Amino acid sequence: MLDRPLNTLGLPKAPADTRVVVAMSGGVDSSVVAAMLAAEGYDVVGITLQLYDHGAALAKKGACCAGRDIHDARRVAETMGFPHYVLDYENVFRDAVIDEFADAYLAGATPVPCIRCNERVKFKDLMATARDLDADCMATGHYIQRKVGRAPELHQATDAARDQSYFLFSTTPEQLSYLRFPLGHLASKAETRALVAKYGLPVADKPDSQDICFVPDGNYAAVIEKLRPGAADPGEIVDIGGTVLGAHRGVIHYTVGQRKGLGIGGLGEPLYVLRLDPAARRVVVGPKAALSTRTVPLREINWLGDEPFASRAEWHVMARVRSTRPPREAVLRPLSPNEAEVELLAPEEGVSPGQACVFYAREGSRVLGGGWIWRGR
C-alpha cells in the first residue's frame, strides 16, 4: 500500500480531513494565513485571544488583540466561511506576561514581553486548546520558517526585514512539531498584501502591529506606575566612581544605553546609562565606550540543535542580542543544561539584562535557540 501524499502542511491527510487552528490576532498576517488555508480546503478554526483590558489601547493603531482586532478577525472568518472563537485570557496574560514585565522593569531589566507571550500563552495554553479541539496542527502569521530535517527545524524567514525569529527562540521541539508558519517563505510584505486583495479580506488597510500591545503609547514607565503604584522612587544619577551628578525620578524611566533625557548636560563628553541599580535607587552613567560588552551570561536556555547542548564545550554560532541588530559571530559555552555564557567576537553596546540572546547557525538560516540575558552569578 502506497503512503498517502503529504498535504501543504506536511500531513498525510486530505486538506478537508485536516483540522487547523489558526491563532488570529485580527491583523493582516494571521488573517491571510486563515484565509489561505480555508481556500485550500482545510478545516480551519480561528481563535482570537482577548489578552488585556483594551480600553486604553482600543484606539491605538498597531495594537494587537484589542477590541477592533477581535471584530476584524470575526469578519475575516465570516468572509471565508469558517468558525471563529474568542477566548478570554486576560487573567492568564496578566499572570504570565504583564506582572513579570512590571517586576523586571522595577528590577532594572529591559524585558521583552512579546517573547513571553508566545512562550507562555500562544504556544502553551492556546496550543493546548487546539489539541482539545482535535486539531492536527496550529498555524500562525509569524514570519519564520519550519523546515523538516532529522526533525522539525526553526529557520529565519526568507524576508530578513520581516524575520521574527528573535521573538520565537523559546519555541520547543515539541511545539515545533505541531506549529506551522505559512508566511515564512514569502519574499516580501507586498506578497502578503497581494493575498489580502486576492481573498477580498476586510483588513486590507490595517497597519502592521507595533510595539507592546498593552503599552498604548509606548510609555512603559506610565504602565509600570499604574501596575505598581509608588514604585517609581527618586534617586541619584552617579558616574562609575559613585560621584553624584544629578537626581532622577525613578529607575523605571531609564534603560541601558539611553543618552537623551538624563538632565545632566554640560559635563563635557556625552554620558550614557550603563546600568541600573534599583536596590540603591541609582542610575549609573558613563562614556559610550563603557557600554561595550563581550561576555554575556544567559539562563533559561532553549536549545534547538541536533546534538545535546552540553555535548560540546563550545559552539561556534551567530548571536543576536537585540531584535534590531544583525547576528554577530560568537562562541557559546554551556555551563549547565539551562545556563551558558556567550563570548561576542566583536563587542556590542547596550546589552541589558532582560533581553534575549538568540543563536543562529554560522551558515544558512537555521535558528539554534537562545536564552535570557541576566547579570550572572
| Residue 343 contacts residue 333 (beta carbons within 8 Å) | yes
Q: What is the grid cell recorded at 173?
A: 521541539
Q: What is the number of other CB atoms lying within 10 angstroms of the CB of residue 244?
A: 10
In degrees, rounded to 5, the angle at the alpha carbon of residue 48 between the alpha carbons of residues 47 and 54 is 170
Distances (CA, A) of 36 to 6, 25, 167: 17, 16, 24
65 is catalytic: no
* CA pair distance 105, 73, nearest whole angstrom: 32
* CA torsion, ordered 39, 41, 42, 46, to nearest 10 deg: 40
Residue matched to cell numbers 477590541: 67
Q: Can you give the C-alpha Rg of the chain in angstroms? A: 22
The HSE-up count of residue 164 (CA atoms within 13 Å, CB side) is: 20
* Euclidean distance between the first and the last CA atom of the chain, given in angstroms as a whole number: 59
Catalytic residue (one of 65, 114, 213, 357): 213
Q: Catalytic pick from 114, 117, 137, 357?
A: 117
Measure the CA–CA gap between 145 and 175, rounded to whole angstroms.
14
Active site residues: 117, 213
